[in-house]
């Protein structure tokens, strides 16, 4: 079965270098919440992600983290879901220090987990 996106191999050398060093920046997500690229949460006391097109990697820091993530539309990929729907997605445990690569436009974490989400 062919997929439209080849994971980290789909990026150019410059993009991979940016991912490796966080050149495009990253966002820190913690606590119970849902974070969506292109949305400004400042009105509800959150942060502004309106300039974020997508995140290209998620890294658990400080402890294992449990996340749900949505693959950006049109990219082709996996939402950690058996049904293909973000709303019914399975939670993924990312072990402390591990990185999951992809093209995500929505990330949710639970409890006091810390996630570094690298901007694409």
CA atoms within 13 A on the CB side of 103: 17
- Average pLDDT on 73-84 reads 59
- Write the DSSP string, 34-94: EEETT-B-GGGTS-B-TT---EEEEEEESS-EEEEEEEPTTT----S-SSS-GGGPPPEEE
Specify the pLDDT at position 89: 60
Residue 83 clears pLDDT 60, i.e. is over it: no
Tokens describing residue 62: 């400080």
Residue 1 placed within a domain: no
Handedness of CA 79, 82, 88, 94 (dihedral sign): negative
Q: Which of 14-18, 62-66, 104-108 has the lowest mean pLDDT?
A: 14-18
Poorest-confidence range of 14-23, 50-59, 61-70? 14-23
Across 50-76, average pLDDT: 84
Domain extent at residue 36:
7-119
Tally of structural domains, the chain: 1
Local confidence band at 74 (pLDDT 50, 70, 90 cut-offs): low
pTM of the model: 0.73
Longest CA pairwise span in the chain (Å): 43
72 in a structural domain: yes
pLDDT of 22 > 80? The answer is no
Which tokens sit at 86? 């973000």
Q: 2 lies in a domain? A: no
pLDDT at 106 over 70: yes
- Would you say 51 and 36 are in contact if contact means Cβ atoms under 8 Å apart? no
């Amino acid at each position: 079965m062919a997929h439209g996106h080849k994971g980290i191999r789909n990026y150019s050398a410059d993009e991979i270098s940016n991912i490796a060093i966080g050149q495009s920046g990253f966002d820190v997500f913690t606590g119970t919440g849902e974070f969506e690229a292109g949305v400004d949460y400042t009105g509800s006391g959150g942060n502004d992600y309106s300039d974020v097109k997508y995140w290209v990697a998620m890294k658990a820091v400080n402890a294992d983290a449990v996340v749900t993530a949505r693959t950006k539309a049109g990219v082709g990929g996996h939402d950690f879901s058996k049904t293909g729907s973000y709303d019914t997605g399975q939670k993924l445990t990312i072990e402390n220090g591990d990185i999951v690569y992809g093209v995500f436009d929505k990330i949710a974490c639970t409890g006091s987990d810390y996630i570094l989400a690298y901007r694409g």
